[in-house]
Structure 1
Amino acid sequence: MIDFDPETMQFHLHTESGSYVMQVTEGYLLHLYWGKKVGTYRGSSPVSLAPRSFAPYTDPAQPGLSLSTLPLEYPSYGNGDYRHPAYQMQLDNGSTVTDLRYAGHRIYPGKKKLDGLPATYVESNQEAQSLDILLQDQVTGLSVLLTYSVFRDFDAIARSVRFENNGAESLRLLRALSASVDFRDDQFDILTFYGSHSNERNINRHPLSMETQVIDSTRGASSHQHDPFFALLRPNTDEEHGDAFGCSLVYSGNFATQIEVDPYHTVRASIGINPFDFSWLLEPGESFQTPEAVMVYSSRGLGGLSHAYHHLYRTRLARGKYRDRPRPVLINNWEATYFKLSEEKLLAIAGEAQKAGIELFVLDDGWFGHRDNDHSSLGDWTVDRRKLPHGMHWLSAHLHEMGLKFGLWFEPEMVSPDSDLYRAHPDWCLHVPDRPRTLGRNQLVLDLSRADVRDYLAQSVSAVLAGADINYVKWDMNRHMTEIGSALLPTGRQRETAHRYMLGLYELMETITAQFPDILFESCSGGGGRFDPGMLYYMPQTWTSDNTDAVSRLKIQYGTSLIYPPSSIGAHVSAVPNHQVGRVTSLVMRGHAAMSGNFGYELDLTRLSEDEKETIRKQVTFYKQIRPLIQFGDFYRIKDPFEGGATAWCFVAPDHSEAIGFYFQVLAEPSPRLQTLKFRGLDPDALYENLATDDAFGGDELMNAGVSVPEEKGDFKSYVWRFRKK
């Protein structure tokens, strides 16, 4: 998996289908190749040492050896390389020049944990092989450890960086990215995501140009606006064909991706913690660990890229009891009651849910303090006896007697100015002296860099969870950071606050999820505002968007699926007209869209007609039949909602024994063309039976000729086909 040639000083990392090659030259670690697998890399395309104008020479005896043109594996700035650096360190004298040279390496079985950070993992040392490459700056005593892990069963490379100050003077880290890759040409499209609240993960793809492109977040979260991910694609790359290079950051805070095309048409691509408003003081003997970046190369297009991320993130990033278990069908009361909840109303909804075969009842916002609207009570995690006079334990017991599991909503990271917690501890929120405290959704952000705040939250949330039979928690976060400062950090460390917040959040989540291993945790941030790999390490699923409109969800879920497995995608059927966009779609289409993830409902079941209730009963029954296929099968995108009026995708069992396909038509057209759905991922030599008609077709026929979509008038139509190998 990892080869080292001491004669050429070359490192060759082998994945199932790719190669990643580095070499030490004149003490510098160079990047030679990343792409389709080669057995042995012998340097058929050597690094050019041709001298170029205005390129300072690292060694006057070798006029072509210039850091400004070499493909560097972890570049710095200040001594000849004018491209953006992977790191920057400020010395006590104010200068920022360092010079990292190779000082040794180690290859070992397994994969180390990262201190205080989420990361991919292995369950035995035989599952991966890792490489540590030590780089040192002789002047300052700075040591930088580059770590690469190659998985046996997953087509991916995980990498991270650890900085250590082994000198006698303090150092200040100004930039600390997790990965940087120098490509030798610029013939790529870049693919990233953009969006907003209720409009997350739209796909943005366009050719690279002679410029630097930055995709980032400075909001204290990975955000609705962007995602900590980029892909570089050869121009002809599509779902099934072509080269795709992906890089995904396992982090939930401020991040930056930077893609730079230089005048010689080479590309430097990097990702890591956003250097904007960031610094980290390293006293002698101290260290700093970057988050992990997960790199995937695919020669099978975007579909191959997605499958690699799905398999790894579902089974070696997500953890816990529910990683490999079916997720329950749920009903959430939020859009049914909002803050006007009562025991009587909740039990009435639960009664209808039980009749429909729904498995989990989730009590959303409004159950605590004096929470009659979003102006108060965040931080006061005690039951509001006005609304729940019998208390939480009674309610959970009553629901369990009805055959329903019970879930609860929290927003632990926030505090309302109108709360007992804020009145007692006004310094516990993020703030800076002599500045107003900006409100978002009438709330402030608690300072999770503080141990006393984390201790309070762990105690207060755990008391609620231990006081009732709770099976599920929705962990929400409904505003981004402003006035990012901490009352406990000294002046020289204030720009550490945002990252220390993330480290504190991860510690808090680790504490609570470890204390309650039987609870299914779902993350949320106004929907998809923190849908990132870092959160999946603690909570195996995420509420994908507050927008539950079926048409909107086609794009949102399609974009999300480029990186994240369906088992992580929370999807609900809501009422019409839809509360976010006002659209009226059929219950059938809403059901099919929501069935393509972790299925649930978010509406008032007591207000539905008998026909609608019967439809829901059938949907729940059907989903339970296909649930293993949806949550643990292989997902294939077939028709792109960003390119036309139709969307299609399918799920295929890992052993190719079963498949289900979905087709969605948004708007009807006059004189429409004939449409087919061509399955992917089937066994071409097998015969598959249509479970609705008993007809049988070859896997090759279903993939190449496809099935005909019914010709039916009307907007918002959806269809499903289910096949099983005979």
Structure 2
Amino acid sequence: MSRLFALHGRESSLVIEQAASGLLWRHWGARLPDELLAGPWLEAGRPVPTFSLDAPIPLTLVPSFGLGWYGQSALLAHRAGQDFAQGFADCSVVPDGDRLVCSLRDAVAGIAVQLVITLDPETDVASITTSLTNIGDGVLDLHWLAAATLPLPPEAQAVRHHAGRHINEFAEQTDRLGQFIWLRENRHGITSHGHFPGAVVLGPGTTDHAGPAWGAQLAWSGNHRQLIERLDDGRSQWQLGGWLAPGEVRLAPGAQHDSPAVLACFSPHGLGGVARGFHAAVRGPVPQRPRPVLINSWEGFYFDHDPARMMALADAAAGIGVERFVLDDGWFAGRDDARTSLGDWWVDPRKYPDGLKPLADHVRGLGMEFGLWVEPEMVSPDSEMFRAHPEWALQLAGRPLATARHQLVLDLTRACVTDHLFDRLSALVADLGVAYLKWDHNRDLAPAGDAEGRAAYGRQVRATWALMDRLRAAHPSLEIESCAGGGGRIDAGMAARAQRFWASDCIDARLRIGLQRGFLQFLPPEMMGAHIGAERCHTTGRRFSLAFQALVAAQGHLGLEFDLTRLDAAERARLAGWIAFYKAHRHLLHGNVWTGTAGDGVAWHAAGGDGEWLLIVYRTEIMLQRHAAPLPLPFIDDGLWQVAEVRPGEIRDAHRYSGAWLAQSGLVIPPGKPDTATALRLRRV
């Protein structure tokens, strides 16, 4: 007899049918009643199509190859060429509060799989993990294991995802779904700049703020794969998992392979509803302390370090309200450019003859935290570390050591390497009182062979996570920023270890509007590093006003990245005003987020909640219309609202509106030139 198992959130439900042929997907989508009446059982309630098996196999939790499932399989494995076909008829489901523990067993193929599915009733975000155990004789070669296979209804019409490259991450893409396989794969070894491991599937008419949307993202910092395939019953399946290199996972009898977690969210409130669900899930129950405004030395000084100049930068930063000072690349032994010295993690005596402690003490004496740039996973061929331990680099016998940015990747699967790195980093943190590490990773993995010549991609990711976890356990107050040439390692797996992501090495304010919107589809604003740079952007050459840069950077965790000592008194005062503006509003900026576009070169970003919002309206192009159209504000609820323009130290043009008017008819926004922005404070009165 079949049986249904359901998990319910506030606005979504997830339903599995336990049948004789296995565990079948019945529903993931809109909220269903607590007491379900599902009609005919899926296994027995459908006619057999022509030219089919007499008992065709519906979509299961783990669709498998070789026994009548002709769609994409969630599992591909074999044992010396045998046991290539799998089927899980021996299944059980154990409800446990807000989660289901699903066990599947194939005694013939010698494989056991366990899925743990949790649905948070507050955020509507499901977390799914899959573990596979070799219960047979002999080594099991695993080629693919989906971390989750998700069902999509027939009305799933399009998929919103993101492509990109270094200095142009999170480029929005939308593809129609049809009678084909939509496939995205990443084999860069890290999350990558151009293949974010997640997407949002859209229904008919779904917008930023309304309509059904199904979102999923893989919590994994390495190679990954996701696909969407239309099935014979009009539904689609969506698989996400870690991409495996040939021979990467070979399980001895009794050994287990654990997938990364998948976070999945259904919302009836469009793309924004999915984003807010993800934000709440990634944040967890304990909020971060207010995000300190920081200054980073990189674009102001690059490798040109001098203690007096850095202390002068710290003085200037503290004088305008900066709360964290980060010394970027160039501080360690022999590091005059990107060609040398990675791995030699001791202070360069030529640049800092008295070490870094005087600078760190000076920074703290000004009331700021001291942060430091490191790139622990890398080694330069021209370094003391590599000359002493060339075997520590990832490599393959007979293959050239391919460099990128003149550097190699260390093999963190070796305990001696991670022990060495932990000792060096822990000593720096303890000796200098480092509160913050900007942890960089400036190249892809190629080749990625370990000491035995096996592919080490996934183990490298887990070893990196373990090193970060170990370091933070030893120094509980330490914060880490994840950077990989900017946005090359941004994902929910790293979010469990890093408190900040450097979203891109490009801080061009106009480009950042779309880039940051893509980031915010999956991760919360307080984790998004966003900086005010020099008036002329170093990566694009475009010039932007301070006000425009400040209001773009205000979407995330605000920082500065240029030489403040070159500013005159009036310029410093204006910058201090924008820092004070950010501090006054960061409790709103790091709350609920709504984003949108309004045509005619207008984009907007609103953040807050509980009767108070900060709305920022951006103009990126010259107006085509002679008059700006009103901007509906779907996040505003009923009641009376006061709307006022806010600037540093100034509130002006306050007016009152009914909430219904703002939500339906909209707010008339002021005209403006390209690359300008206006901030408005909305309060319920």
Which TM-score applies when normalising by structure 2? 0.95
Q: Residues 611 and 302 of structure 1: is their aligned pair in 2 closer, same or farther, counting only changes over 3 Å?
A: same
What is the match of residue 695 of structure 1? 655
Q: Is 2:242 the counterpart of 1:248?
A: no
1:11 to 5, 18, 21: 5
SS in 2 for 1:708: coil
What is the match of residue 100 of structure 1? 88
2-structure distance, mates of 1:345, 1:601: 16
Letter of the 1:700 counterpart: A
2-structure distance, mates of 1:153, 1:289: 27
Contact 1:186 1:267 in 2 (8 A): no
What is the match of residue 648 of structure 2? none
1:115-514 mapped onto 2 (5 Å cutoff)? 129-185=98-154, 187-262=156-231, 265-277=234-246, 279-315=248-284, 323-487=287-451, 489=452, 494-495=454-455, 497-514=456-473
Q: CA deviation at 1:184?
A: 5.0
Q: Is 2:542 the counterpart of 1:591?
A: no
> Which deviates more, 542-551 or 606-615?
606-615
What is the match of residue 663 of structure 1? 617
2:671 to 704, 708, 711: 711
Q: Residues 668 and 573 of structure 1: is their aligned pair in 2 closer, same or farther, counting only changes over 3 Å?
A: same
Contact 1:186 1:208 in 2 (8 A): no
2-structure distance, mates of 1:469, 1:612: 32
Deviations 1:85-105 (A, max 9, x none): 111121134441122123323
1:18-29 mapped onto 2 (5 Å cutoff)? 18-29=12-23
Q: CA deviation at 1:314?
A: 1.4
Deviations 1:130-186 (A, max 9, x none): 211111111133211111112232211111111112233321211111111244526
Q: Residues 250 and 89 of structure 1: is their aligned pair in 2 closer, same or farther, counting only changes over 3 Å?
A: same
Letter of the 2:56 counterpart: S
Deviations 1:279-320 (A, max 9, x none): 41111121111111111111111111111111111125xx7x
Which TM-score applies when normalising by structure 1? 0.90
Q: Residues 359 and 527 of structure 1: is their aligned pair in 2 closer, same or farther, counting only changes over 3 Å?
A: same
SS in 2 for 1:639: strand
Q: Is 2:640 the counterpart of 1:682?
A: no
1:582 to 537, 541, 557: 541
Paired residues, what number?
676
Q: CA deviation at 1:694?
A: 4.3
Consecutive unaligned residues of structure 2, counting only runs of 5 or more, are 645-650
Letter of the 1:701 counterpart: W
Contact 1:175 1:278 in 2 (8 A): no
What is the match of residue 679 of structure 2? 720
Deviations 1:622-680 (A, max 9, x none): 1110011112x11011326xx65221111122x22x11110111122365332434334
Contact 1:688 1:699 in 2 (8 A): no
Q: CA deviation at 1:681?
A: 2.3
The percentage of counterpart residues that share the same residue type is: 31
Consecutive unaligned residues of structure 1, counting only runs of 5 or more, are 1-6, 58-62, 110-128
2-structure distance, mates of 1:10, 1:262: 22
2-structure distance, mates of 1:208, 1:581: 35
Contact 2:600 2:621 in 1 (8 A): no
Letter of the 2:544 counterpart: T
1:42 to 37, 47, 65: 37
Q: Residues 210 and 450 of structure 1: is their aligned pair in 2 closer, same or farther, counting only changes over 3 Å?
A: same
SS in 1 for 2:15: strand
SS in 1 for 2:652: coil
Q: Residues 93 and 196 of structure 1: is their aligned pair in 2 closer, same or farther, counting only changes over 3 Å?
A: closer
Q: Is 2:67 the counterpart of 1:79?
A: yes
Q: CA deviation at 1:245?
A: 0.8
2-structure distance, mates of 1:314, 1:154: 11
1-structure distance, mates of 2:587, 2:484: 27
2-structure distance, mates of 1:99, 1:207: 32
1-structure distance, mates of 2:231, 2:101: 29
2-structure distance, mates of 1:366, 1:330: 18
Contact 1:369 1:382 in 2 (8 A): yes
Q: CA deviation at 1:398?
A: 1.0
Deviations 1:486-541 (A, max 9, x none): 11x3x6xx13x111111111110100111111122111111111111011100121
Letter of the 1:504 counterpart: A
Contact 2:637 2:663 in 1 (8 A): no
2-structure distance, mates of 1:104, 1:51: 26
Q: CA deviation at 1:46?
A: 5.3
Deviations 1:115-144 (A, max 9, x none): xxxxxxxxxxxxxx2211111111133211
Q: CA deviation at 1:379?
A: 0.7
Contact 1:86 1:176 in 2 (8 A): yes
